[in-house]
Amino acid sequence: MKPIRLMVVDDHSLFRRGLVALLAQDDRFVVLHEAADAGDAMRCVGRDKPDLILLDNHMPGVRGVDAIAGLKEVAPDVRILMLTVSENEKDLSAALKAGADGYLLKTIDSEDLGESIMKVFQGVSVVSPEMTTKLVAAFRGGAAAPASPGSRGGADPGTDSARVDGLAMLSVREREILTLIARGAANKVIARELDIAETTVKIHVQHILRKLNLSSRVQAAVYATGQGVI
């Protein structure tokens, strides 16, 4: 397996350099670029084409959560994993709505960080355990943040009517897949569990996101958890 190509975006130079040095010790990863702000990351993401971006939130200029949509536009296939000190539910909600693939606190252990990067790269959503309760509350509408310019339009998935209508539109197979997504299963695992092709799973996931007016698997997982699907 080729090393996962990373970009580290954080304005605190000491933390950023320490993180880069830590990741360099793991053969699973290679850091292509380190940036001190979202502007630098935006300029380099198209050139470097990283597989995954570790993105801080509170930086000078453009905040991390506000840069997600732009980064995804330049590099649609890139995974974005927030790595921040912010335990604010509004930041969490805004990040997930903008399309972040995970949200971790900087208090995470180094081993857990490595495993989390691997999961996100494989398409599994990750959120720090400390943020789980806030995550569910945010998508129930109690702490919903305004949608970012890059987020999908339409009804707020945190409203009761949107949730009920969305579930009603899902087929039996799509509900099965949504349940497995909420349990953290990657597409390969879902395909094996349901005895279908992985490409078929990807198509179902796209349909689920469209019907629920969501933009990422992590949003789908949160949605399913909040609805008691699992």
Q: What is the pLDDT of residue 138?
A: 64
Confirm whether pTM is higher than 0.85: no
Least confident window among 76-80, 124-128, 166-170? 166-170
- Bigger pLDDT: 78 vs 229: 78
* Buried b or exposed e, range 105-115, using 16+ CB within 10 angstroms: beebeeeebbe
* Distance from C-alpha of 82 to C-alpha of 64, rounded to nearest angstrom: 8
Report whether pLDDT(215) > 50: yes
Q: What is the pLDDT of residue 150?
A: 41
- Amino acid at the residue 147: A
Q: What is the pLDDT of residue 161?
A: 44
pLDDT tens-place string over residues 106-137 = 988 888 899 999 999 988 888 888 787 777 76
* Distance from C-alpha of 50 to C-alpha of 99, rounded to nearest angstrom: 17
Q: What is the pLDDT of residue 4?
A: 96
C-alpha to C-alpha distances, 108 to 28, 111, 136, 180, nearest whole angstrom: 18, 8, 20, 25
Least confident window among 90-94, 121-125, 205-209, 218-222? 218-222
3-class DSSP state of 197: coil
Report whether pLDDT(28) > 90: yes
Torsion sign (Cα): 150, 155, 160, 162: negative
* Domains of the chain and any CATH numbers: 4-138 (3.40.50.2300), 152-226 (1.10.10.10)
Mean pLDDT over the full length of the chain: 83
> Among all chains, which residue has been given the structure tokens 């939130």?
57
Q: How confident is the model at residue 164 (pLDDT cuts 50, 70, 90)?
A: very low
One DSSP character per residue, 96-144 reads HHHT-SEEEETTS-HHHHHHHHHHHHTT--EE-GGGHHHHHHHHTTTTP
Q: How confident is the model at residue 50 (pLDDT cuts 50, 70, 90)?
A: very high
